[in-house]
Structure 1
Amino acid sequence: MKEGTGSAGTEEAVAAAPAAQGRHRVPAQPAASDADRRRDTGRDRLAGPEDDGSARGEHTHGEPALARPRHAVQRSSVRGQVLAALRTALVSGDLRPGEVYSAPVLAERFGVSATPVREAMQQLTQEGAVEVVPNRGFRVVERGAREIAELAEVRALIEVPVMLRLARTVPAERWAGLRPLAEATVRAASSGCRATYADADRAFHSAVLALAGNEQLVGIAEELHRRAQWPPLGGAPGGGSRAALIADAHEHTALLDALIAGDLDVVRALVGEHFNGAE
């Protein structure tokens, strides 16, 4: 896609072409989160004068192919939708650790200008998912098992005490209200799609923590959870298989059963086990 200034009808228009066939595909993006929508309000804009060249990639030769998504990005909240799609691609492995991707090529796949893609990539740079490669684009960060383990440890330090406190104070009927979310994680795991499971997994954990009534806690925990779901180089250790996802999902339903029953000993054991092998 040619970059530069242009009308809304050309720069931000929805691409109507059917899905392309290819080995690597950026999945159709899920709806942007409330936080992303708030962040995007008033920020989406037409492509304007170019940024500093070191923050964008223009040379596209030699980079891996990335097929067009099934559904092109819609006009509203473009940056948020692109960001959600890129996060999904990180979780699924469609954006591969160590590979460099340029904003113009990704923009062409989404049917938008390069501007919202660059903005979304800059957000992912702040989150530590990608790094800028001057005059080329953005490289997906290669992460090792140690970083994954460290993220799991930090999540446990934040979430476990809160869950144990909630187990002693939240009535059974409120825990029962989370049953649909727990069951949704099992269905998502059964699909074998890592990205689908990642969304359902975060939704369940966020709903549990929301019972504490602390929005800052939920936001920090969700960001850590999201980062923990990005696979390291070579794939997620023990967590990428369908069987591993199903086992992790069933820990959610078992935990919820114990919370409803008020069995604190079982809750304590299940919470510790869940975070030792945290997704």
Structure 2
Amino acid sequence: MPGSEAVRRTTLRSQIADALRDEVIAGRLAAGRQFTVKEIAESYGVSATPVREALLDLCAQGLLDVELHKGYRVRQFSYADFRDMVEARSVIVEGILRRSAARALAEAAPEALASVRRRAEEAGRAALAGDLDILIGYDLRFWRELSGLIGNPYITDFLDRVRVQSWIFIVPVLRRAADDLRGRLWHGHGELVEAVAARDVAAVERLITDYNAHSLALIGSLSA
């Protein structure tokens, strides 16, 4: 079939990019880790072309850096970077709340809110238990679906990108924590969904402000 090879290659490219993205977020591909196209291709048992394309996609997302004649390196973020990420997502969220969010949230389909509620329950449960591996996936899906209620894919993609970068920085910090994470991670996902469902923009703003303050304080104390 004409074009079928291109479709398969595109699908493989996406699969490799998603797999590597998960490895980076989870910290299994650690910040500063250097590798080549050949190394990844051999690891996944595929040709170099889709791997190279996948790695360039991750570079565009700000997760990898290209090193001339050396390959690729997982980007390293600092606590100062993390503070800037929190500020960036705060500015975007505050902006959409002031403009079109109230109307968009009011018009959100019940089934969409039900899906966000399920994500919130799982994310909140994992956060309370201090189960980082489970929390990462549900937390990213929760925020992506929640921001998706606004109906603007550019906003959703931007927030998702910043949140992924935030996780890349904080996961190693949390894994190095000597004490138990149970009860220390933010778990207000459910409360936030209910504020959204009630169209209570003020409560949404308060919860997001509290969440950002909690993140900065916790990561700041663990990074010290």
Shorter-chain TM range is 0.7 to 0.9
**Residue aligning to 1:16:** none
Deviation at residue 131 of structure 1 after TM alignment: 1.7
Q: 1:251 to 1:167 in 2, by over 3 A?
A: farther
Q: Is the Cα–Cα contact under 8 Å of residues 31 and 75 in structure 2 kept in the other structure? A: yes
Tell me if 1:121 matches 2:55.
yes
TM-score by length of 1: 0.62
Deviation at residue 278 of structure 1 after TM alignment: 4.7
Query: 1:87-143 CA deviation, whole Å, 9 max, x = no partner?
Result: 111111111122211222222221212222221111222222222223332111221
Q: Is the Cα–Cα contact under 8 Å of residues 130 and 183 in structure 2 kept in the other structure? A: no
Within the candidate set 131, 134, 146, 1:192 is matched to 131
TM-score by length of 2: 0.75
Q: 1:134 to 1:274 in 2, by over 3 A?
A: same
Q: Is the Cα–Cα contact under 8 Å of residues 197 and 245 in structure 1 kept in the other structure? A: no
Please tell me the residue identity of whatever aligns with 2:137: D
Segment drifting more, 239-248 vs 156-165: 239-248
Residues 99-248 of structure 1: pairs in structure 2 closer than 5 A: 99-163=33-97, 166=101, 170=106, 174=110, 177=114, 178-189=116-127, 190=129, 192-194=131-133, 196-231=134-169, 235-236=172-173, 243=181, 247-248=185-186
Q: Distance in 2 between matches of 1:277 and 1:115?
A: 43
- Secondary structure at the residue paired with 1:142? coil
What is the percent sequence identity of the aligned residues? Answer: 25
Tell me if 1:270 matches 2:207.
yes
- Which structure is higher in RCO with an 8 Å CA cutoff and minimum separation 6? 2
Query: 1:2-35 CA deviation, whole Å, 9 max, x = no partner?
Result: xxxxxxxxxxxxxxxxxxxxxxxxxxxxxxxxxx
Q: Is the Cα–Cα contact under 8 Å of residues 90 and 231 in structure 1 kept in the other structure? A: no
Question: Can you give the 5+ residue segments of structure 2 that lack an aligned partner in the other structure?
Answer: 217-224
- Secondary structure at the residue paired with 2:72? strand
Q: Distance in 2 between matches of 1:119 and 1:267?
A: 39
Q: Distance in 2 between matches of 1:170 and 1:242?
A: 39
Measured on the aligned residues, the alpha-carbon RMSD in Å equals 3.3
Question: Can you give the 5+ residue segments of structure 1 that lack an aligned partner in the other structure?
Answer: 1-40, 46-75
